[in-house]
Amino acid sequence: MSPGGPIIELVGVERRFTVGEETVAALRSIDLALAPGEYLAVTGPSGSGKSTLLHTIGLLDRPDAGQVWIAGCETTALDDEKRAALRRERIGFVFQFFHLVPRLTARDNVELPLLLAGVPARERHRRSEALLAELGLAERAGHRPDQLSGGQRQRVAIARAVISRPSVLLADEPTGNLDRRSGREVMAILERLRQEEGLTLVVVTHDPELASRAPRRIRMVDGAVVADERKG
């Protein structure tokens, strides 16, 4: 891949799982390219491969065939340590169930990626406090997840996902556990961060209204991309 090319590119990607005596094709010959700053919604019925696609892009899962390029690096041959380093530097994740550490405060949850990366405490605190304030959580920084609403927990998860300044943000059903108003607020935050930070945003969703917000949408059925649509 040449400089200025896609930040994400999948070429002939396949993923299979064995369930009992049956082999299930979770991804079938996926070809997909996303430009820097692109906003993609991934839709389709349950079991269609949406989350598997997201985990493959995010280097949480290895394909059985094909290539996965992230920021010009072909990742399928990388060892676990190099994959983890690339994921830490380039990719942020937001999940449906928040995945916050229960015993840590909001501030400590947000700072966790920086702690693992060896960032000094003063810089961790500066960045987490600024980000929590930006997301309207300054007064909740010292609260644990069980002291926060669902929308607040998801905002903490977003802050944790972007504090390392990734170039790709992956969100798997980020509004799935939220009421309609909180869901819209979370999507507005993700979209604003994309605009301000130039993030490439990929959102998996079952919600047609949320999917319609994205300039580009793909639909998956039985592990294959069956539609790829762009606004305009």
- For residues 131 and 149, what is the distance between their CA atoms, to the nearest angstrom? 18
Name residue, tokens 């966790």.
Answer: 112
Q: Which two tokens stand for residue 174?
A: 């980020």
Three-class SS of residue 147? helix
Query: What amino acid is encoded at 130 in this protein?
Result: A
- For residues 205 and 190, what is the distance between their CA atoms, to the nearest angstrom? 14
HSE at residue 99, side-chain half, CA atoms within 13 A, is: 14
Instruction: Tell me the whole-structure pTM to 2 decimals.
Output: 0.88
Architecture in CATH for domain 8-230:
3-Layer(aba) Sandwich (3.40)
Show pLDDT as tens, one digit a residue, over the chain (232 residues): 444 689 999 999 999 988 888 888 899 999 999 999 999 999 999 889 999 999 999 999 999 999 999 999 999 989 999 998 898 889 998 887 778 899 999 999 999 989 888 889 999 999 999 989 988 889 999 999 999 988 898 889 889 988 888 999 999 888 887 788 888 888 888 898 899 888 999 999 988 888 999 999 999 999 999 999 998 6
- For residues 49 and 55, what is the distance between their CA atoms, to the nearest angstrom? 10
H-state helical runs in the chain = 50-57, 80-90, 106-116, 121-134, 150-162, 180-197, 208-211
The alpha carbon of residue 65 and the mean position of all alpha carbons in its chain are separated, in whole angstroms, by: 22
- Report the side by side order of strands in the sheet with 224-230: 91-95, 168-172, 200-204, 39-43, 216-221, 224-230
Q: Are 144 and 102 in contact (CB under 8 A)?
A: yes
- Report the side by side order of strands in the sheet with 73-74: 22-34, 8-19, 65-70, 73-74
Q: Which two tokens stand for residue 136?
A: 């309207």
Instruction: Give 176-184's long-range contacts (Cβ < 8 A, gap of 24+).
Output: 176/96, 176/205, 176/206, 177/96, 177/97, 177/98, 177/150, 178/150, 178/151, 178/154, 179/150, 179/151, 182/149, 182/150, 182/151, 182/154, 183/207, 183/210
pLDDT, position 181: 83
- For residues 74 and 88, what is the distance between their CA atoms, to the nearest angstrom? 16
